[in-house]
A and B are shown apart, each in its own frame.
Chain A
């Protein structure tokens, strides 16, 4: 099949960007979306043009490197799927696709489809951990974790930090990301001692980074490639409230 792409090109953070049109020819339905872009890029290089910069690494939907908007939807149309795992069999000959980077004040564009997501690391640094220095642990089975709690913690811990939630949100809020980490750690008995201070520090950092406020729209949940549930935001808000009141 043949597709038309309109891609956001921007030389660097300071430059002004704009959309450029490309034709993607002879696309096989078995290609991944990024493989389709690889082929387009090989063609651009052959013509002496600069290839489109996009981020990727694992191409297995787990590292969280990849991600951009396809026709206004973060990671494209397939539910629970990162753009590296999206395959071209979901498109038809003649489709026109618009590719744009994540848009959020907290995520400035670095080049083309690549943005700066360091604020996420700083939210984690503010408290997204259990303080357990190496060597201080007791035997693993002395801490019993009910299977249900372990499963719930794992559901939230599945977050890959790609930033789709922020990109999809009209407020550019990072509540799903932050809530997921707070939920993962706060559900577990190991996380209990720092439960409220963790929520307070992480939410504080999230606000300081310039993310917007969550107004329960739910687009984050809809695009999350790991299908993290909105309930993590409730958990965050509850623990945060206790954290600031206590």
Chain B
């Protein structure tokens, strides 16, 4: 099998316009007759469902929270990129495209990234029109800030709550369509299987999380916008409910999983404090604009930070990367934190932390300005740690934050199962091996507002779909499958809680498939994951029944899927004998310890196919061509 990315040929600047022109349209009067199922109501799902509703399609939208407004996107803090060049500092669509391809360490598809950069400008306009309260200058114009991996100021923001405000914009647009009757919302519903009929995605099986009832919904296309799988690590910055179940079960129905080992570790999170810890809290990367990162020069220096004179501090990012300094991309910043901590120079009780210091910025700009920029983040830090970052430097450490991998999609966001579209963090599409800050919000909204509404129309207009009903054997089989998993989980009543398994799994993946990886470790991890999985299915204790709200049961299903995904991540990491972006294989590094890519052998997207538990997955490669941005070793020096 080979993968057709359906990337348009011809000049990249015209590719999207040309594609839009080439695509078939659905007659406005006919749109109402099409039923579209959108799973997920984060930035990607809510924007897609709202836009499809506006176009006149019949849309059903599902989420597992009690309201679409609570999707994980709500937690994004820092901002959203757009190539507006409002600051007159040399930004352009091409530069955003270039930065994103380079930031992704040349493992993303050029055509997708270019389109993303083009659409970025429309997103800001759309969101402003919806009333998103972006930060403003005194003259009333939109304000910008800088973010890692870029030398221009192109990030739009709404205090430290950009994700919240963008999501509320999309959610309100969605509610408007719900009111209009074009979208029907199904909150507290979890998709547990994909229904494939005649090779096409035609429906989903969901469990009503309140009544426990299982139901199937059929349609003409299925859209998954179910977010990333960072919680495979147990401790992550993701919301507790974020999971891989929707995309994993679609994978088991034939959708290929691309680059599962490409995960992003965010450099600025609050360090772990104890075993009970349930999640990690991100401190927005925008803090690196004004904060300076340092550790003591000497290993084992336990003095308090104010007792360490300038000359005995190592501002290691400024030292190693003079031109980007504290604003190097995330993977570089994270790895450097690990290096200094591994060398015994880490700070805080555990030694797994580095300082992010605002003393100079406060001296230079005054506390009020710092308060205005980061007030709510400082407060959050204080609430969690009990320390005042206006007086003592913050302590930060890297944590898993985002997953670049996801279901493989072509240029039109369709997976390898025809009729199954995948948007937002759930797909693999635009960030290669490393995502730049403020680009996930951009991608989610680009996919949902501006790409899918066109491409799904072309699919519907060019595909003849048979009428189906719920008595088809494929539907019954999927329902039976879901029921069997539920019953099996409930029947074990073993000795260990779901969380204890999840925590153990997370530790294996973090230790061996986290910030740095090597072949021996990955092989070891694969063995451990298999053992743990067997133990899980023998000894997990899921209390209660399947007939009402049962949060342990929900979680057990998600952890069961993480157990399978974790193995694929390690297989993928083992297969990729190079270092690129967030994937750092210790065997492949330059003399200075930077990632060493192997473009000759690994300039491809690894798309894995499911062959059943216990059988090795099959690998298909999508070769990447770079016509516009020529691969070079990324240098931020």
Q: How far is the CB of B491 from chain A (nearest CB, A)?
A: 15
Contact bitstring A198-235, B, C-beta under 8 A = 1, else 0 = 00000000000000000000000000000000000000
B interface residues, tally (CB under 8 Å): 80
* B159 adjacent to chain A (CB < 8 Å): yes
B593 within 8 A of A: no
Please state if B140 and A39 are interface contacts (CB–CB under 8 Å).
Answer: no
Q: For residue B583, which residues in chain A have a CB less than 8 angstroms away from its CB?
A: none
Query: Pick the contact of B278 from A59, A87, A111 — CB < 8 Å?
Result: A59
A153, B133: Cβ atoms under 8 Å?
yes
A117 in contact (CB, < 8 A): yes
Q: In the complex, are the beta carbons of A144 and B161 less than 8 A apart?
A: no
Instruction: Tell me the complex Cα distance, A55–B133, Å.
Output: 28
Q: Which residues of A contact B122 (CB under 8 A)?
A: 135, 137
Per-residue interface assignment for chain B, residues 191 to 215, with 1 indicating a CB less than 8 Å from any chain A CB and 0 otherwise: 0000000000000000000100000
- Interchain CB contact under 8 A, B278 and A60: no
Beta-carbon contacts under 8 Å, B73-127 to A: 74-75, 84, 86, 122, 124-127
A-B contact pairs, 12 of them (CB 8 A): A51-B543, A57-B241, A63-B70, A89-B386, A125-B179, A132-B129, A132-B131, A134-B51, A140-B124, A140-B134, A144-B141, A158-B161
Question: Are A58's CB and B86's CB within 8 A?
Answer: no
User: Is B139 at the interface (CB under 8 A from chain A)?
Assistant: yes
B497 near A46 with CB under 8 A, answer: yes
Is A130's beta carbon under 8 Å from chain B? yes
CB atoms of A87 and B383 under 8 A apart: yes
Q: Are B240 and A185 in contact (CB under 8 A)?
A: no
Number of interface residues of A (CB under 8 A): 79
Residue of A nearest to B48 (CB): A134
Instruction: Mark each residue of chain B from 473 to 510: 1 if its CB lies under 8 Å from any CB of chain A, else 0.
Output: 00000000000000000000000010110000000000
8 Å CB contacts to B: which residues of A75-132?
A: 78, 80-81, 85, 87, 89, 110-111, 114, 116-118, 120-121, 124-126, 128-132
A140 x B128 contact (CB < 8 A): yes
Please provide the 6 A-B residue pairs with the shortest distance between their CB atoms, ordered closest to farther.
Answer: A144-B140, A129-B172, A137-B129, A132-B129, A137-B125, A140-B128
| Contacting pair A58 B239 (CB below 8 A) | yes
The reply on B276 being an interface residue by CB < 8 A is yes
Produce 1/0 per residue, A1-40, CB < 8 A to B. Answer: 0000000000110000000000000001011101110110
Mark contacts of A142-161 with chain B using CB atoms, 8 A cut-off: 1 yes-contact digit, 0 otherwise.
01111100110110011011
B584 an interface residue at 8 Å Cβ cutoff?
A: no
Given contacts A110-B210, A128-B172, contact A161 B165 (CB under 8 A): no
Q: In the complex the two chains form, is B175's CB within 8 Å of A85's CB?
A: no
Contact present for A157 and B168 (CB under 8 Å): yes
Is A179 engaged at the interface, CB distance under 8 Å to the other chain?
no
A32–B273 alpha-carbon span in the complex (Å):
11
Chain A residues with CB below 8 A from B165, complex form: 154, 157
Question: Known contacts A45-B543, A60-B380, A154-B158; is A121 also within 8 Å of B240 by CB?
Answer: no
Q: How far is the CA of A223 from the CA of B348 in the complex (A)?
A: 34
Which of A34, A60, A125, A190 is within 8 Å of B130, CB to CB?
A190
Question: Which residue of B54, B278, B544 is within 8 Å of A50 (Cβ)?
Answer: B544
**Stretch of B432-440, B548-556, B607-615 lying at the A interface:** B548-556
Contact with B along A162-201 (1 / 0, CB 8 A): 0000000000000000000000110010110000000000
Judging by beta carbons under 8 Å apart, are A31 and B133 in contact? Answer: no
Q: Total A-B residue pairs with C-beta atoms closer than 8 Å?
A: 221
Assess whether A118 is in contact with B51, with CB atoms less than 8 Å apart.
Answer: no
| A121 and B54 contact, Cβ closer than 8 Å, known pairs A38-B278, A51-B552, A81-B383 | no
Asked if B589 is an interface residue, CB under 8 A from chain A, the answer is no
Main secondary structure of the interface of A (DSSP, over half): loop
- What is the interface of chain B, defined by CB distance below 8 A to chain A? 47, 50-51, 54, 65-72, 74-75, 84, 86, 122, 124-131, 133-142, 158-159, 161, 164-165, 168, 171-173, 175-176, 178-179, 185, 187, 210, 239-241, 273-274, 276-279, 281-282, 379-380, 383-384, 386, 449-450, 453, 497, 499-500, 541, 543-544, 548-549, 551-552
Q: How far is the CB of B243 from chain A (nearest CB, A)?
A: 11
A57 touches B240 (CB 8 A): yes
Q: How far is the CA of A137 from the CA of B124 in the complex (A)?
A: 9
Bound complex: CA A34 to CA B552 (Å): 15
Would B75 and A146 count as touching, CB distance under 8 A? no
Please measure, in the bound complex, the distance between the C-alpha atom of A63 and the C-alpha atom of B77, giving whole angstroms: 12
Given contacts A51-B551, A62-B75, 19 further A-B contacts (CB under 8 A): A35-B277, A45-B552, A49-B543, A59-B278, A63-B74, A81-B383, A114-B549, A129-B173, A132-B131, A133-B51, A138-B129, A140-B84, A140-B125, A141-B141, A154-B158, A157-B165, A161-B69, A190-B130, A191-B131
Contacts of A126 in B (CB 8 A): 179
